[in-house]
Amino acid sequence: MSAQGKPKAMILVIDDEMIVHQSISRILEAEAYQVDGVLRVDEALERLKKTPYDLVLTDLMIPEKSGMEAVKAIARDYPDMGVVMFTGFPTVDSAVESMKLGSLDYLPKPFTPDELLAVVERSLERIHKIRRERELEDLYAEAEKAIQSSLELKEILNSINENVVRLFKVKGSSLLMLNKKNQTLQLASSTGLSEGYLQKGIIDATKSVPEVLKSGEPVMVQADQFESRLQYPEEARREGIFSILSCPLKVQDKISGILRLYSPQSRSFSGEELDLLRKFAEQGARAMENALAYGKVRDDLEALQKYVPE
Amino acid sequence: MTTEIKGKILVLDGEPQVLNELTRILDADHYQVSPCLTGKEALALFKEKDFDLLITEWRLDAQDGLDGFQVMESVGRLDPTLALVVLTAFPDVDSAVKAMRLGAKDYLKKPLVPEQLLALVGKLIEDRQALLSRREGQAVFEELKRRISSSLNLQEVLDLIAAGVAKGMGVKGCTISLLDKKRDQLKVVAYQGLTQKYMEKGPIDPARSLSGMVQSGQDLFISDVTKDNRVQYPEEAREEGIKSILSVPLLLKQELIGALRIYTATAQHFSPEDFKFLHSLADQAALAIENARSYEDMKNKYEALRGDLVDYFEDGWT
């Protein structure tokens, strides 16, 4: 293991020869991976029940149970874990079979340290992507439920902010409602932002990323464009913000406000993330509409109750 | 053409003979084949038309410099659902690994074995069509979720759910029932795809139809209504043309408020993905129902009070 800090990833190697374990460990440990080794497939499968490895590297020909069985079991039982086959007897057939079963790659032996590292890095990247997608999917389902679990406007606004920060791992977020009469954006709710930043002044909808209202689409502004596109660039910098994503709150082409996400580094959003954000903002806007309709009837009821004699 | 085509296949190989042979074999099995000699030609065709499958040689010594892998990458980006197969006269480990990494479903060596090819093609086309119909169902569900969360009209919400589930799952019918306030009667409040006669067959005994569900909050699947003693009205169900019934609980903060039921006309298998969808929809349906109920309660209170006040001003408070 690396001398200092957390390992980059936990890797389990299955091979019946000690010499292979030694050489793989040497290469990977030098790059700050934690490497454990076992000599048999069954031993590996036992260990996986207890330890959450990121990646398993397995030889093909192992006494008792073949590496192909390890690939099959891991791909079936641990969808969040990567597995890669290596072998001193590479054939087209075993390469195709192992990858059909779920091996992320197939590495013929002998390999150079660079070849091994390239395969490990590429496989870990794949696994991280799969995990992130799954996590996003789960968090999204929770978030959508959360904003629909209430008819109280304040609760919904807070829930939108909290959930959007958790979903996209950003520093903070705010909900700005559009006042159509004077074209200002009024802060309705926020999370993760300082009082000083929130009180920075009146936000003019025609000066603060106005493209959002025109296009009805999310718009990203990075730190180097703050001066030309933000109304309060200085304040944003002082707050430690490096990028701002503005997403319209829109139901059937009617924009009621803007949901803003603030990142402390220049963050980019993938197409999938933007789709999810659009969907979330739309569901948020609907939940807000429902809360307003509910609130109105409740206010009407309260107003009438004043007239009821004791 | 008299027979319906089973799928559209783009075939890419630098050898005209190979293209002819592939076209002959696949055409005889009712696939529509578009043969291409170069990657450039294949990409141009792919942008124009929809395909289910690309079968390509990886090594193409064409003037345009494109090999089969580059074509696979490009078409895969344009349509991630497209099935890819490499068929090669130059098999080696490197190209096999690369093909599989790029998402190939298989890597076949020439000379090709027609039976092997047809079996593979048949399976891949079937898998792709299943994938596409799942996506369609997903899109229906997404739209449904949007619509039910934008209404506070209880009956509208219920009708939308019943119709949307039947359509999204591609099943015969769907019902929604809610527990009444005393929590002992399960009443059908919306249905789709079933006759009024069947719906009025008689009272549902919640002790029987719900017992398992109430206790565990679990799904209940009856694969054959004629052979399952949990079915209260097997004869009526058979007459209605129902083969199986799936009940999914409607839970609000872990508390049962009702059930969503799916009726199929044939023996049907529900995949884990189907269940995932249904549960996510049931969760959202429960919330939408609760919101609409709260709104209507409030509105009813308001209207009742207004009625009382009108009476008061006319007749004096009593």
Is pLDDT of A175 > 80?
Answer: yes
**Topology (CATH level 3) of domain B151-304:** Beta-Lactamase (3.30.450)
The residue with greater pLDDT, A309 or B266, is: B266
Mean pLDDT along residues A279-301: 95
Mean pLDDT along residues B95-101: 98
Q: Where in chain B is the domain with CATH 3.40.50.2300?
A: 7-130
* pLDDT band, residue B229 (cuts 50/70/90): confident
Task: Report the mean per-residue pLDDT for chain B.
Answer: 90
| Of A106, A145, A307, Cβ closest to residue B97 | A106
Mean pLDDT along residues A160-187: 95
- For B109-161, the pLDDT digits (tens) are 999 999 999 999 999 999 999 899 888 888 888 899 889 998 999 999 999 99
User: How far does A149 lie from chain B, in Å, by closest CA?
Assistant: 6
* pLDDT band, residue B2 (cuts 50/70/90): low
* Chain Cα centroid distance, residue B235: 30
* pLDDT band, residue A2 (cuts 50/70/90): very low
Instruction: List the end-to-end C-alpha distance of chain A, in Å, as a whole number.
Output: 78
C-alpha to C-alpha distances, A75 to A55, A200, B24, B43, nearest whole angstrom = 11, 52, 38, 33
Domain A149-305 has CATH 3.30.450.40: yes
* pLDDT band, residue A83 (cuts 50/70/90): very high
Say yes or no: A108 contacts chain B, CB-CB below 8 A: yes
- pLDDT of B275: 87
Residue of A nearest to B286 (CA): A149
DSSP annotation string for B193-253: SS-HHHHTS----HHHHTHHHHHH---EEES-GGG-TT-S-HHHHHHTT--EEEEEEEEET
Measured between beta carbons, which residues in chain A are less than 8 angstroms from residue B302? 297, 300-301, 304
- pLDDT of B312: 76
Measured in degrees and rounded to the nearest 5, phi and psi for residue B83 equal -85, 140
pTM: 0.82
Q: Which CATH superfamily is domain A10-131 in?
A: Response regulator (3.40.50.2300)
Count Cβ–Cβ pairs < 8 Å, chain A vs chain B.
91
Is A283 in Cβ contact with B146 (below 8 Å)? yes
Residues of chain A above pLDDT 90, percent: 90
Measure the CA–CA gap between A277 and A220, rounded to whole angstroms. Answer: 13
Mean pLDDT along residues B80-91: 97
Tokens linked to A115: 């070849």
- For B7-130, give the CATH class: alpha beta
Measure the CA–CA gap between A258 and A285, rounded to whole angstroms. Answer: 10
Write out residues 171-230 of A within 8 Å (CB-CB) of B.
Answer: none
The residue with greater pLDDT, B238 or B122, is: B122
What burial class does residue A111 get, using C-beta atoms within 10 Å of its C-beta: 0-12 exposed, 13-18 middle, 19+ buried?
Answer: middle
Q: What are the residue ranges of helices labelled H in B150-170?
A: 154-169
Measure the CA–CA gap between B12 and B42, rounded to whole angstroms. Answer: 7
- For A143-164, the pLDDT digits (tens) are 999 999 999 999 999 999 999 9
Say yes or no: A309 contacts chain B, CB-CB below 8 A: yes
Is pLDDT of B210 > 90?
Answer: no
- pLDDT of A1: 44
- For B161-204, the pLDDT digits (tens) are 999 999 888 899 999 999 887 766 778 899 999 999 898 887 76
- For B12-43, the pLDDT digits (tens) are 999 999 999 999 999 999 999 999 999 999 99
Task: Report the mean per-residue pLDDT for chain A.
Answer: 94
| Of A95, A144, A151, Cβ closest to residue B96 | A95
Say yes or no: B118 contacts chain A, CB-CB below 8 A: no
Is B301 in Cβ contact with A301 (below 8 Å)? yes
Measure the CA–CA gap between B184 and B181, rounded to whole angstroms. Answer: 8
* pLDDT band, residue B318 (cuts 50/70/90): low
Q: What is the DSSP letter of A32?
A: T
Mean pLDDT along residues B215-224: 80
DSSP lists the bridge partners of residue B10 as: B34, B54
* pLDDT band, residue B317 (cuts 50/70/90): low
DSSP lists the bridge partners of residue A134 as: none
- For A5-15, the pLDDT digits (tens) are 789 999 999 99
Is A304 in Cβ contact with B309 (below 8 Å)? yes
- pLDDT of B181: 73
Taking a C-beta distance cutoff of 8 angstroms, is the pair A40, A91 a contact? Answer: no
Can you give the length of chain B in residues?
318
Measured between beta carbons, which residues in chain A are less than 8 angstroms from residue B304? none
Taking a C-beta distance cutoff of 8 angstroms, is the pair B103, B79 a contact? Answer: no
Say yes or no: B147 contacts chain A, CB-CB below 8 A: no
- pLDDT of B212: 58
Q: Give the residue extent of every domain in chain A.
A: 10-131, 149-305
Kindly give, in sequence order, each residue whose CB lies less than 8 Å from that of residue B296, ignoring residues fewer than 6 positions away: B152, B153, B154
- pLDDT of B200: 86
Say yes or no: B302 contacts chain A, CB-CB below 8 A: yes
Measured between beta carbons, which residues in chain B are less than 8 angstroms from residue A149? 253, 287
Kindly give, in sequence order, each residue whose CB lies less than 8 Å from that of residue B16, ignoring residues fewer than 6 positions away: B37
